[in-house]
Structure 1
């Protein structure tokens, strides 16, 4: 790419980011209704037509602000690949998400009301962090439900906690609401004690092998084949 073209592209990126940050600031200070193309253009030091060139329309601008919100949230996440307490790590992740929502109410509401949420690169990256937490719980024998259901429960309780809190008059905002919702999520998603006492595939294989005779879903031939696989995995431990 010619140097002049690179400079031009960099200038467009910088201008776009300046507009997004101006819109996010306006949203935080005055609410969604205040985020008009004219107001944002003035705040960013541009003419209104520039907004349309960069984002298409107001909806495009709002989607970009929502994506910015996911990116800001992701940047604040701390990822411990080997936490000493998996359930406390789950609590900490949930608390972080809720605290972000309470600190950025207008932005949070926008993030979860715009269609960009499911397709946002930052949202997907954050989702992978959550899936990593859930996978570690599963590997440790601490996950009570299916991994996909765990993702849904954690997201639903966190989002519900934030939006319910924000909908309440200030004199009715009891911190016990947040604690109770978090602990309900933990109870629904995790086991108090590991379902498998020995970590790793071998321990899981032994636990599953022990309960195999009690199930009726598999045919005799399927049980026999599964038992062979489990025997092989269990012997590795």
Structure 2
């Protein structure tokens, strides 16, 4: 219990420093002084500064993740994607230091736990679009495009003075991506072999009449068709 309270106190101290002065303000010495602990305690609880920053990012991202996962699903998965995009951009603009900590600090081959959790939520939303037969590219490609564009747009808006931020930029980027990855039809048949393959691949795990090996083989086949861009 005391360990948890100490951990929370350190995270709060680091979060306050981050909000007030950005990442440069979150030094080990400053955090320890603000939390009233010695550096060995910090290292014992978080391992190193990266561990502390990951914990701070997860703490700050909780409100975003709660809001994103709490978005009620509608009958239109593409419209749900729009709502998720808007929530993502709004969180970044409202919490620039936290957002930059998560998405602006690129570590090759790795990503903060909070970013992985957000990616999982996005993947689930993309999968719903695929299951509805409205995805014209593979789920992985769609998720990467959405993530890359949304992240770039949010960081761009953060970098601009508030008076120069054009809300229409985010909407234009959002609609361009949606047009690139989705069809206007509620069935994949209207988008040729790629759309059919993406939809079938999305529902493959639910095809109970097939054996596990058959479902795995079907998934592999549909991945190859989707990747061929027919």
TM-score range, shorter chain: 0.7 to 0.9
Query: 2:81, 2:110 → 1: CA distance?
Result: 22
Query: 2:96, 2:147 → 1: CA distance?
Result: 16
Q: 3-state DSSP class of the match of 2:122?
A: helix
Give the match for residue 26 of structure 2: 35
How big is the shift at 1:100?
A: 0.9
1:12 aligns to 2:12 (yes or no): no
Distance change >3 Å, CA 81–CA 140, structure 1 → 2: farther
Query: Alignment partner for residue 102 of structure 1, among 89, 93, 105?
Result: 93
1:177 aligns to 2:175 (yes or no): no
Query: 2:42, 2:143 → 1: CA distance?
Result: 36
Give the match for residue 193 of structure 2: none
**Greater shift in the superposed pair: 106-115 or 22-31:** 106-115
Query: Alignment partner for residue 111 of structure 2, among 96, 118, 123?
Result: 118
Structure 1 or 2, whichever has the larger Rg, is 1
Q: 3-state DSSP class of the match of 1:77?
A: helix
Query: 2:72, 2:25 → 1: CA distance?
Result: 41
1:93 aligns to 2:84 (yes or no): yes
1:67 aligns to 2:84 (yes or no): no
Structure 2, unmatched stretches of 5+, are 191-195, 201-217, 219-230
Query: 1:51, 1:82 → 2: CA distance?
Result: 41
Structure 1, unmatched stretches of 5+, are 1-9, 199-203, 209-225, 227-237
Could you state the TM-score of these two structures normalised by the residue count of structure 2? 0.73
Give the match for residue 133 of structure 1: 125
| Structure 1 vs Structure 2 CA RMSD | 2.8
How big is the shift at 1:18?
A: 1.6
Give the match for residue 224 of structure 2: none
Query: 2:89, 2:143 → 1: CA distance?
Result: 15
